[in-house]
Chains A and B, each alone.
Chain A
Amino acid sequence: MVTAVPTTDAGAQPGSAPPTKRSLELVMLAFAAIVVTTALVLVELNQPQGVTRSVLYDGAAYLALFGAAHVAVRRFAPYADPLILPCVALLNGLGLVMIHRLDLADAASAASVGDRVPAGNLPHQIAWTTFGLALFVGVLALVRDHRMLARYGYTCGLVGLAALALPGLLPSAVSEVNGAKIWLRLGGLTIQPGEFAKILIMIFVAAFLVTKRDLFTTAGRKVLGMELPRARDLAPLLAAWGISLGVLVLEKDLGTSLMFFGIVLVLIYVATERAAWMVIGLIFFLGGATVSDMIFKHVQQRVTAWIDPFSDYDGAGYQMAQSLFGLGTGGVFGTGLGAGRPDLVPEAHTDFITAAIGEELGFVGLAAVLLTYLLVVMRGMRTALTVRDTFGKLLAAGLAFAIGLEVFIVVGGVTKLIPLTGLTAPFLAYGGSSLLANYILVALLLRISHAARSPAASSPPRKPVAPLAEARTEMVQRP
């Protein structure tokens, strides 16, 4: 069992334990709080009523919330990576400011036509953030060693698959929102089980690959200088491919399908160290994509709207065109927070929040957000590189890559690089399930990074070191 070793009582040799860098995390969190509060001030400045003192309270509340998360990290995972939490806090805070900003725009346009002012999305998102951080602390407190997760590998896999498949199999009345069957409606609450399934399945695949790793490295025939795996070893990959196609067909969700397949493929590649898997996977992907484009109408629509959104400007291409107008109007430096019209893009607070950021903060702001994501992914990859155990490596790589892939799919969709898929930007966008799942994801990543950086985990359990002269002889077992 790994126990937290605070820097202050570093044991027999003072200074030998590496610094925890928790203070750096706190400083960076304060920095994120300043950035977010400034952003909020800018939004308010650009509104008719101007800035009120409540902005300061909002900033303080934000800092208190993430301060609590920081204290939990200090307590439960003191050696955790010091940059991941501040980055996530920054993204989450920016998302809250943007959602608040869009609420203001909706309220203003409702007032101008004399409609009832809508309640707004901000209170929900704040509640979800609080709940997400509570979950974050809970996971850190509960999962004291990530390796224990491997023991529940198959359970996780089963629950994950069920969660992934559930909305697709349930009647549309309970599971369909805006054409995608990825929801569960329970009373007043709608949750997206797929977001949680993503993590459960990663745990399963990592655990599975650790035990069956040898299987995948058995060489088959050699083609074009590349060792192909044996046909029968393709089964797990084929299963993943089949499941993601099933998601696509039953749930009409391009994004989840793509995420699922991408993560499994990368985990297999990392575990086996064989590029052949990547090539085979990409061929599967291209085949699946081509066939889906030919067969499924909802895929075709997305592809047409992607190739030329202006060809059906008033229909399928409208949202994409509005996004491009917003991004173009924003230009390099943006219109300024609160001074643009990101509310003209439908679903600006969820799928298209990055378009809203690109409009008001410009290319510069969008690039900053993307680089913040990149930082989180790179810190996660670093964790995967440094952690000793194979399961930890695979899980960290999967968690980090999941964020990177999701950002690519979302932002690529919004900026017309790839077809639109209907995923949301982690931490930025409005949506409870995504926020909760991603806080669990980050908690696991921090847990692994703690294991990677903590002296207790990085070396085998230390025995009391006696002077060499007093060393005893050892008995070696006979062969």
Chain B
Amino acid sequence: MNTPLRRVALAVMGMIVLLLANATYIQVVNADTYRTDPRNRRVLLDEYSRQRGEIIAGGLPVASSAETSGQLRFLRRYLDGPMYAPVTGYYSLRYGAGGMENAMDSVLNGSDGRLFVRRLSDLVTGREPSGGSVELTINPAVQRVAYDQLTRRGYTGAVVAIKPSTGEILAMASTPSYDPNQLSSHDGAQQESAWNADTSAQRGAPLTNRAVAAIYPPGSTFKLVVTAAALEAGKATPQSPLTAAAALQLENTTTLLHNFADQPCGPGATVTLKTALVRSCNAAFAELAATVGEADLRKQAQLLGIGQQDLAIPTPVTPSTLGAIPDVAALEQSGIGQRDVALSPLQNAMIAATIANGGVRMKPQLVRNILAPDLSVLDRTGPEQVGVAMSRVTADQIRDLMVAAENSYRNDGKINGVSIAAKTGTAEHGADPKNTPPHGWYVAFAPAGNPQVAIAVLVENGGDRNLEATGGSLAAPIGRAVIGAALQGAR
């Protein structure tokens, strides 16, 4: 009986070895996967025991941690929560972190390499460890106007304001917004009900940052890209003749592409490119897009940042796209910013900023400085030039066209003594585009001679004007108000 006994003993040994091997796999080989899983609340719980750094905008701590007497030592609090929510993001025990709280987490929780020396000295001196702070490029006055303008009329939409020379984001608003204070509450039930409300589609998914995380058909604002492509490729000048017809039959189809309200673009057979842009004639630009060709259009779009997959500010930005352009008919439709073309408001603001900056594209930045817990500067972001998207001549030509366009628009909220360069857009969308309220766009920069701010405004689904809505009526007044606030600060 001893032989089987020895074998059973060996088998038990084998079982224990199997357990040890499996434990090695989980606790050593795969440990990091489990440790860093966003659903693993341990790391977050650990973080709650340290003072998390602040998020600062214009000297104001818009996100900060306050000590409590509860089991979770620190409570994250947000100043003007809904206004800054697209910028700060949220920090929730149950739902993890989002936005800047997530993107700059390593700095805020103190684990970032740049805080290494600080951590070491904490250890030696017994000082309580705390995270570093993030100073934003946001200008609180501009941010407030942007947010107020959107919420005043109950619009769903987004505003982005960029300083063209540096790429600094001065304002980034998205509505409907949410209060991150609810999500960072230490009351689980409150977190849950807030989360459910903030992710609810019926309420417009407030957690979605429409400025960077959503893409929309750009409509007529895309004509700036087509114009840039045509001018850069030498295939047109501002004076080039384009069709003045009220509609264009798409190549190889019987489908007609109409101008707005089916109006002819001018009295004659042709109009200049300049007139076509000012009047935003669809037939003319469909024709121009076909003249430019897919290759040159794509090249120009890419130079302006459309299609960039890894843009982060440092919150990740959803890539904008031209979509597939299988034939000339598709190219003609894409030329007026419809079909599968889709841009994020940030992308559209970046296009305006690039034109404003003489064709030099700057990387959009939301973080100005990384600060140590004692608020000394650890790292400065600094302006970063991405590339030259178009020549200065082209940029100036487009600027002049945009100034002419702005001057032709209705006089809603224009600022005395400030010359604005702008383009509106009214983009159809949905399964039944003619009966769905359109998205209204307004991209602009000012002052035209010495641009201090470039903006993009998007108002979803006709705002409060239903089918009658246009970019000029919905988005332009908001844009001008934001420009006004930005210029006030700049002066």
Contact = CB atoms under 8 A, between A and B. Distances in A.
Categorize the interface residue count of chain B.
Answer: 35 or more
A413 B43 CA distance: 24
Given A374-B16, A404-B16, A329 B35 contact: yes
Interface stretch (A24-32, A359-367, A427-435, A438-446): A359-367
A344 interface: yes
A466 B290 CA distance: 123
Interface string A377-415: 110010011000010011001001100110110011001
Q: Which of B3, B34, B70, B186 has the most CB of A within 10 A?
A: B34
B253 to A, nearest CB: 47
Contact of A269 (B4, B18, B70): B4
Interface of B is mostly: helix
A385 B5 contact: yes
A370 interface: yes
Interface string B236-253: 000000000000000000
Contact of B31 (A113, A328, A390, A404): A328
B182 to A, nearest CB: 17
A384 B9 CA distance: 10
Nearest to A401: B8
Interface of A is mostly: helix
A417 B40 contact: no
Given A108-B71, A329-B34, A397-B8, A366 B22 contact: no
Interface in B36-88: 37, 39-43, 45, 70-72
Contacts of B70: 112
B467 to A, nearest CB: 42
Contact of A271 (B1, B22, B33): B1
Interface string A13-40: 0000000000000000000000000000
B24 A363 contact: yes
Contacts of A370: 16, 19-20, 23
Categorize the interface residue count of chain A.
Answer: 35 or more
Interface in A321-371: 321, 324-332, 340-341, 344, 358, 362-363, 366-367, 370-371
Contacts of B8: 266, 269-270, 381, 397, 401
A374 B10 CA distance: 11
Contact of A332 (B28, B41, B71): B28
Contacts of A405: 12, 15
B16 A373 contact: yes
Contact of A330 (B5, B9, B27, B187): B27
Contacts of B30: 328
A252 to B, nearest CB: 25
Contact of B4 (A270, A328, A332, A417): A270
Q: Which of B4, B13, B30, B188 has the most CB of A within 10 A?
A: B4
Interface of A: 108-109, 111-113, 266, 269-271, 273, 313, 321, 324-332, 340-341, 344, 358, 362-363, 366-367, 370-371, 373-374, 377-378, 381, 384-385, 390, 393-394, 397, 400-401, 404-405, 407-408, 411-412, 415-417
13 contacts: A108-B71, A112-B186, A270-B8, A327-B27, A327-B34, A329-B34, A341-B42, A344-B42, A363-B27, A377-B9, A404-B12, A405-B12, A415-B26
Given A332-B27, A404-B16, A408-B19, 11 more contacts: A112-B72, A270-B4, A313-B39, A327-B34, A341-B42, A362-B27, A370-B23, A385-B2, A394-B1, A405-B12, A408-B15
